[in-house]
Structure 1
Amino acid sequence: MSQHQPFAQALSPLDVGPLRFRNRIFVPAHTTNFGEHHLPSAQHLAYHRARARGGVGAIIFESIRVHANSLGRPQAVCGFDPACIDPFRRITDAVKAEGAVMLGQIIHLGRQVEGDFERTVAWGASAVPWSISALPPRPMDEFDMEEVIEGHLVTARNLVAAGFDGIELQMAHGHLLQQFMSPLSNKRNDEYGGALENRLRFPARVLAALRAELGAGFCLGIRISGEEYAEGGLGIDEAERIVPMLARQTRIDFVNVSHSAYVASYSLATQMADMAFDPAPFRSLPARIRAELRTEGFDTPVFAVCRFTGLDEADAMIAAGHADAVGMARAHLAEPAIVRKSVEGRLDEIRRCIGCNQGCAGMLERNLPIRCLINPIAGLEAQFDEPEALPRGARKKVLVVGGGPAGLEAARVAAALGHDVTLWERSDQLGGQLRTAWLMPKRANFETFVAFQIAALARLGVTTIFNKEASAAEIAAFGADRIILATGSTTTPMPVPGSGPVFTLPDALRAPDRLGAAVAVFDRTGEWGTLAALEHFADLGKAVTLFVPAASYAWRTTIYSTLANSRRLRERKVRIATLRAVRAFDGGTLEVEDLSTGEVARLSGFSALVAVDHNSADQTLYLALRRAGLPVMQAGDNNAPRTALEATYQGHMAARAPFPAASGLTT
């Protein structure tokens, strides 16, 4: 391949043990919650086949459990039950038929699985719980260790029988084997605790047993955390020692360098770092481990992960000698064909991950199948093809009213399906409420999403009319075969007694200078907008205090992001008062009720109050259109105020919905 070709490094083949990847981009193991009764599902098959068809070099199947007390949620997939072989075989056959290599990650989660679903007892290196709300695990004895080793071997045999090309041993993310390696979770005083050589003893035994079982001709690699990002925990200095120590004992075909530990602290938030993170520190970890391996005489391929959103970033990482391959999980959730579209020069058609963590991490935390804000059919590949791949029916006239996330997605998809699409927007700009979100630098990636949608509308020939206030009469006169009403929602001012300045969140973000130096925020939503605004106001130099009526704050965001926010808010001295309700504000003194006692405190020194409540939707126009018998559908906040995740999904599905039979179109 010519070195002058775009992405020449990322698209070059890579030998990994006995395997050859067709390129150096892979989909790393990531939990999808697609399992059914602890077995791989048809949705797994469709999901991975779409990404293999999209051109990726290799796929690593997610967290295959090796023991009954590591199962956890019903969607988790086991590997020790031979019933997994046939469904796995269907997946490996499908992926390999598309030209990608298929590996499986095998894992024991240790103390993370507390038996809530299966009534099992958690095992760990020591009786150290992973969070303040968790139970301590039972410290493992030598019989438990033998049982876990055997579980790994049985699982490996089943995966070989199912046609996997290789196996990745999970030694990262604070799960069982890392629990032995880390001084934060390993407090043992026997031969498995204390010095690094002792803490490494059990993980090394598992790895050696797997190599002996699989033989020298089968691909076996490891995933390891290069840094726990927790004080007193496993750090890169020790990780640099661990990997060569393992490699000297047992042949390793690749080292997949990740980071974090599954503990309820900042560490966990780094695992799926959201758009507020600078990814540079994460990318230094594989570079250091690779350099150490080369110094020690090992040419083992080293993989890098975290927040790579395009082949340009991967190519630079590989060209710099910092990694041999790059993993893209969320990037492939957003765009399954990211490699193929890059090769074909269709870069403007790539939906780049924005790191919002709403559909992936947010659903994962709720034990729901993962989704994606910017790719509404992610996780639904078994039901839906890409709009561009569908056969064209009769060309219909579609009117989309509203240019926020729901309207943009509806217009894009309807046009991709071959329809004549017109979009009316009441303002002079597209993006809706997302335009307020990207006023905050740490939420600026939403602008990337809107820019992609706007470019897609231009490419697909959508007619956009600005400053158009739609009425029922004008809509009826337009004569559309389908009307998609995506007019959004309205910010609801919260009535607060007193004469003090009370701002809605959008108004506060548009004019932060009007807030003064000391800002009180009263939030009744628990949503991302308020969480991001707290940090934004603090970054502007304001003293910020949050009051919430709930027992916690940001209750509708994901812990995978909130734990990082909590640390940053602490660094900025943002005060958080839970079980508190603001009752009045006179411009200097705030009256706040303690909901646990009913007592009211008078707090002075505040210059402004930002009162955040749920938005409201006006159904007047929709009902008028329905009563007139017009073919109208609602999408996004006009239907019911939610987040951009729901808005894009509803816009997408509204555009795909079959037209009424009388219109003569079937889809």
Structure 2
Amino acid sequence: MSHLFSPTTLGNVSLPNRIVIAPMCEYSAEEGCATDWHMIHLGNLALSGAGLLFVEATAVEADGRISPGDLGLWSDETEAALGKVVAAVRRYSPIKLGIQLGHAGRKASSDAPWNGGQLVPESAGGWLGWAPSAVPHNDQEPAPRALDAAGLARVRDAYVASAKRALRLGFDAIEVHAAHGYLLHQFLSPLSNRRDDAYGGSLENRMRFPLEVFEALREVTPSSVALGVRVSATDWVEGGWDLEQTLAFAQALKARGCEFIDVSSGGVSPQQKIPVGPNYQVPFAEEIKRRIGMPTITVGLITEAQQAEDILAQGKADMVALARGMLYNPRWPWHAAAQLGGQVDAPRQYWRSQPRELKSLFGETRFGQR
């Protein structure tokens, strides 16, 4: 059997294969509410045959949105809007659903990428972000507001409230976003965290708030739902967050009941120098898997079926996540199964599409027609 199409588990959640659709921001929500675009986009990806589909980074409070078009889960209105999408996916697809909960911190109030992706100033309808310290993401931007004790409690409680909403909607997995330069990553990295209290300075202190958020979520998340964290394994900047610190963070998460770690990199500083290429982030996942023993998801320029198969066969990760490649080819798992000899779940309405030479791609199917 293909490694990519062998079953696995995240916590107590069983998955039919090891293909993950990574969370991808769509910048198409309205005041945090999912729209018809999300119905079309997620509905399409739900028919892909992947084992797990993550909804895009979802803000736990309005000020925590990356952009004005970000999805949110902080109110009854945002919960109801996302609930309609989830219900439609559940009606037609067996795919497991995850949600990534996050807070943009000082990288909030950005324009959509197709509009340049730059900071939207308050004068143009944007807002001032929150951060561990009043240090802007780059020198041309205003300083964010540093979170005080009340602010830390507010953000932590916002994560818990959003998680409870996600649980009501029936998500199978929750991923805490502590990567890509957003708020929890900002606490971890010495490049963005300049605090001189219990939440800054030493590695133990910089990990404190992200761990407090995770602990609060662990308390409310039942064992039937997988709870994990996405990390940036390195800032790709000298003197910043790095793999050794990530390993310490992963070990602390494991001790607190973290069930998987999704391994990415970068995002906290415009000074980063990333050697982008196929599998460029896989070694980070491999090292975390080897030294910490936590189930790992690897991501980043994984585009070919054999490439994904080799990563898993060589024990470098437990699951492989695709983002842009899945947008380019929403039936990527079908084609990978055809190449590697696997099977995928597909809607009955599409069963007749399988080529004759691949009659077992969707399992044994029979059709009758007058």
| TM-score, normalised by the number of residues in structure 1 | 0.48
Q: Is the contact between residue 95 and residue 102 of structure 1 (CA under 8 Å) also seen in structure 2?
A: no
The alignment partner of 1:61 has SS state of strand
CA displacement at 1:346 relative to structure 2: 10
The alignment partner of 1:15 has SS state of strand
Of 9, 12, 15 in structure 1, the residue corresponding to residue 6 of structure 2 is 12
1:232 aligns with 2:231: no
CA displacement at 1:148 relative to structure 2: 0.1
Q: Which residue of 2 aligns with 1:320?
A: 314
CA displacement at 1:90 relative to structure 2: 2.7
Partners of 2:65 and 2:125 in 1: CA distance:
8
Q: Which residue of 1 aligns with 2:288?
A: 289
Partners of 2:319 and 2:340 in 1: CA distance:
22
Q: Is the contact between residue 168 and residue 222 of structure 1 (CA under 8 Å) also seen in structure 2?
A: yes
Q: 1:94 to 1:342 in 2, by over 3 A?
A: farther
CA displacement at 1:293 relative to structure 2: 0.9
Q: Which residue of 1 aligns with 2:368?
A: none
1:90 aligns with 2:97: no
Bigger Rg, structure 1 or 2: 1
Partners of 1:246 and 1:344 in 2: CA distance:
37
Q: Which residue of 2 aligns with 1:63?
A: 57
Q: What is the one-letter code of the residue matched to 1:28? A: A
Q: Which residue of 1 aligns with 2:181?
A: 174
Q: How many residues align?
A: 331
Q: Is the contact between residue 171 and residue 225 of structure 2 (CA under 8 Å) also seen in structure 1?
A: no
CA displacement at 1:36 relative to structure 2: 2.5
Q: Which runs of 5+ in 2 are unaligned?
A: 110-120, 342-349, 354-370
Q: Which residue of 2 aligns with 1:515?
A: none
Question: Taking CA–CA contacts closer than 8 Å with sequence separation of 6 or more, which of the two structures ends up with the larger relative contact order?
Answer: 2
CA displacement at 1:262 relative to structure 2: 3.6
1:252 aligns with 2:258: yes
Q: Which residue of 2 aligns with 1:100?
A: 95
Q: What is the one-letter code of the residue matched to 2:6? A: S
The alignment partner of 2:251 has SS state of helix
Partners of 1:72 and 1:287 in 2: CA distance:
30
Q: Which residue of 2 aligns with 1:110?
A: 105
Q: Is the contact between residue 93 and residue 163 of structure 1 (CA under 8 Å) also seen in structure 2?
A: no
Q: Which runs of 5+ in 1 are unaligned?
A: 295-299, 348-385, 390-667
CA displacement at 1:37 relative to structure 2: 2.9
Of 306, 317, 337 in structure 2, the residue corresponding to residue 343 of structure 1 is 337
Q: Is the contact between residue 69 and residue 118 of structure 1 (CA under 8 Å) also seen in structure 2?
A: no
Partners of 2:139 and 2:329 in 1: CA distance:
37
CA displacement at 1:345 relative to structure 2: 4.3
CA displacement at 1:92 relative to structure 2: 2.2
CA displacement at 1:72 relative to structure 2: 4.6
1:425-476 CA distance string (max 9 Å, x none): xxxxxxxxxxxxxxxxxxxxxxxxxxxxxxxxxxxxxxxxxxxxxxxxxxxx
Q: Is the contact between residue 126 and residue 138 of structure 1 (CA under 8 Å) also seen in structure 2?
A: yes
Q: Which residue of 2 aligns with 1:358?
A: none
Partners of 1:77 and 1:216 in 2: CA distance:
26
1:38 aligns with 2:32: yes
1:203 aligns with 2:246: no
Of 287, 294, 300 in structure 2, the residue corresponding to residue 306 of structure 1 is 300
The alignment partner of 1:168 has SS state of strand
Q: 1:257 to 1:209 in 2, by over 3 A?
A: same
Deviates more, 1:329-338 or 1:233-242: 233-242
Q: What is the one-letter code of the residue matched to 1:153? A: V
Q: Is the contact between residue 222 and residue 256 of structure 1 (CA under 8 Å) also seen in structure 2?
A: yes
1:278 aligns with 2:283: no
Q: What is the one-letter code of the residue matched to 1:253? A: E
Q: Which residue of 1 aligns with 2:167?
A: 160
Q: 1:119 to 1:74 in 2, by over 3 A?
A: closer
1:265 aligns with 2:271: yes
Q: Is the contact between residue 63 and residue 127 of structure 2 (CA under 8 Å) also seen in structure 1?
A: yes
Q: Is the contact between residue 51 and residue 95 of structure 2 (CA under 8 Å) also seen in structure 1?
A: yes
Partners of 2:87 and 2:260 in 1: CA distance:
23
The alignment partner of 1:303 has SS state of strand
Of 135, 145, 159 in structure 2, the residue corresponding to residue 128 of structure 1 is 135
Partners of 2:104 and 2:191 in 1: CA distance:
16
Partners of 1:224 and 1:346 in 2: CA distance:
30
Partners of 1:85 and 1:124 in 2: CA distance:
26
- Give matches, 1:399-418, under 5 Å: none
CA displacement at 1:50 relative to structure 2: 1.5
CA displacement at 1:184 relative to structure 2: 0.6
| TM-score, normalised by the number of residues in structure 2 | 0.84
Q: Is the contact between residue 106 and residue 131 of structure 2 (CA under 8 Å) also seen in structure 1?
A: yes
The alignment partner of 2:280 has SS state of helix
CA displacement at 1:328 relative to structure 2: 0.3
